[in-house]
Structure 1
Amino acid sequence: MARSGLALQLNHFRLTTAQILYHMPDHPGLLQTYVWQDYDLAPKFPTLRKFLDFWTRNLDGKLHSVQVASCELLQAPQWRNAQALLTVH
């Protein structure tokens, strides 16, 4: 059963984006970009690793590099003191 994004975030999943550079199967000298995004657990990223394992087993394009960005969307509220109080009429 699929879980909602909010339920995953409450269980410490983060929105993870991976930029995957791979060699084109017909032209190995050229690189192509694929962007993958899903909720995953940092720092081990099991969902991304599962996807990359699938890629290496089943797809022809050899991986060149993977850049990963991860952001926790639910965070504690932040506040700061106001430096000035202005009244606009």
Structure 2
Amino acid sequence: MSETEMLLKGYGVTLAEFFYRMPDYRSVLNSFVWQDYDQAPDHPRLFGFVEFWQAEMDGPLHSVRFTHRKLIAPGQWRHVTGEFTLH
């Protein structure tokens, strides 16, 4: 699916910052920034990545902070099938 198709189907950009503990030094926090197209309010890709992190990564998550923004709203785009020119 192309970016335009995704945006027209309601996807938006989700940006998440993951704070996790270092595997060898549990008192040290590190951060990782993740960005992808996702659908609000369910955020299936974000929660899928969180599940992947918890299953596969050694550093346990401390917290996740995220934001979501739709790039195209219904009132900002419209499909035009014809154009009439008057004088």
Asked whether the two chains share a fold, i.e. TM above 0.5, the reply is yes
| RMSD of equivalent CA atoms | 0.9
Q: Could you tell me which residue of structure 2 aligns to residue 65 of structure 1? A: 63
* Secondary structure of the corresponding residue to residue 39 of structure 1: strand
Q: Could you tell me which residue of structure 2 aligns to residue 31 of structure 1? A: 29
Q: Identity, % of aligned pairs?
A: 39
Q: What is the TM-score with the length of structure 2 in the denominator?
A: 0.82
* Secondary structure of the corresponding residue to residue 41 of structure 2: coil
1-structure distance, mates of 2:67, 2:6: 17
5+ long unaligned stretches in structure 2: 77-87
2-structure distance, mates of 1:5, 1:64: 32
Q: In the comparison of the two structures, how many residue pairs are matched?
A: 75
5+ long unaligned stretches in structure 1: 78-89
Q: What is the TM-score with the length of structure 1 in the denominator?
A: 0.80
- In the TM superposition, structure 1's runs of 4+ consecutive aligned residues that sit over 3 Å from their partners are none
